[in-house]
Amino acid sequence: MAKPTRALVPQWAPPEGPDGAPVLVLGNSLGTTAMVWDSQIPIFRQHYRVLSFDLPGHAGSAALPGPYTLEELGSGVLAMLDTLSIERASYCGVSLGGMIGMWLASRAPSRITALGLVCTSAHLPPAAGWHSRAARVRVDGLSAISDQVVNRWFTPAYVAEAPAVPDAFQIALELTDPEGYAGCCEAIADMDLRADLGAISAPTLVMAGANDPATPPEHGDAIAECIPGASLQVIPGAAHLATVSNPDVVGHALAAHLRATTGPEQFWRAGR
């Protein structure tokens, strides 16, 4: 008998922004917190109620036993929206957060009005690598892999320019609950959204880091090619956490995309 799907309802922060404004949900990458969006949130909350959430076991949130599936993570976000009486929202996500966004936009299209996908993939093999990583962190903790992971998040040039930033992200990564991290690894291992992309009707902007070793630009290109009307923007000099290393490029591009797809009348109601 198939295992019943559970909704992994995330921990979230109260929405920030003007009363009555449209809602924007922000999804984070594996091993990070809402800190990945710190530079963009002030831009977004001028015209949106910004709703951030954390993956299971991240930022001190509870972690149920894994493995997890992308369906469970996405169903949890829908349950969060239902709890907050949010019928429709725009969504932007980094890496695993973007994978959740694609699942939401393809499986619950009436709920997602616009989509921003940053440094993500619709299919990220080999699965064996993700299962191996999950097994290792369950035994040895996040400190066993943190150096290797953070080195893929930022380019050497950025680390030399702002060494305190990668250090802060490494600390946050090492504080993540190993079970939550491992469960999310297993969700990525089993993920294949390629056949679902054509069902996405939300206007979509895909952004890829030119120097991203985790989800290279060809992954973003494959997504944009399959989502009707989607566009791709490659960010020069960016590795995996482009929202952090290239904050203005990402922030202004996503804000322009969201503004164009949300509609001027909603910005007027938000008090522009």
Q: What is the pLDDT of residues 66-111, one digit of tens each?
A: 999 999 999 999 999 999 999 999 999 999 999 999 999 999 999 9
Both tokens assigned to 51: 């709703």
Q: What is the spatial distance between Cα 121 and Cα 195, in angstroms, rounded to a whole number?
A: 13
Nearest to 138 by CA among 63, 215, 241: 63
pLDDT, residue 37, reads 98
Average pLDDT of the chain is 94
- Give mean pLDDT, residues 220-239: 98
- pLDDT at position 263 is 54
Q: Is residue 4 part of a domain?
A: no
Q: Tell me the pTM.
A: 0.94
Is residue 1 domain-resident? no
Residue 6: pLDDT band by 50, 70, 90 thresholds? confident
Q: Is residue 246 part of a domain?
A: yes
Per the listing, tokens 């120097």 go with 211
The number of angstroms, rounded, from the C-alpha of 233 to the middle of its chain's C-alpha atoms is 17
Strands 49-54 and 11-12: antiparallel
From first CA to last CA, the distance across the chain in angstroms is: 54
Q: Please tell me the predicted confidence (pLDDT) of residue 261.
A: 84
Residue 201 has pLDDT above 90, yes or no: yes
**pLDDT at res. 266:** 44
Residue 138, pLDDT score: 98
Q: Which residue segment(s) compose the domain that 200 sits in? A: 11-269
Instruction: Please report whether residue 115 resides in a domain.
Output: yes
Query: Cβ neighbours of residue 228 under 8 Å, at least 6 residues apart?
Result: 198, 200, 201
83 CB-contact burial (10 Å; exposed 0-12 / middle 13-18 / buried 19+): exposed
Residue 83's alpha-carbon distances to 11, 26, 80, 94, 244, in angstroms, are: 12, 17, 5, 23, 30
SS3 string, 73-84, reads: HHHHHHHHHHHC
pLDDT of residue 190 exceeding 70, the answer is yes
Is 6 domain-assigned? no
Residue 1 has pLDDT above 50, yes or no: no
Number of domains in the chain: 1
pLDDT at 144: 98
Position 19 pLDDT exceeds 70 = yes
- pLDDT tens-digit readout, 114-156: 999 999 999 999 999 999 999 999 999 999 999 999 999 999 9
pLDDT for the residue 4 = 55
Q: Looking at residue 14, what DSSP letter applies? A: P
- As a whole number of angstroms, the distance between CA 194 and CA 56 comes to 25
Judge whether residue 29 has pLDDT over 50. Answer: yes
Residue 60 belongs to some domain of the structure:
yes
Residue 225 forms part of a structural domain: yes
Strand partners, 11: 54
For residues 177 and 64, is the Cβ–Cβ distance under 8 A?
no
CATH number for the domain that contains residue 130: 3.40.50.1820
| CA distances (Å), origin 132, targets 53, 128, 147 | 27, 6, 17
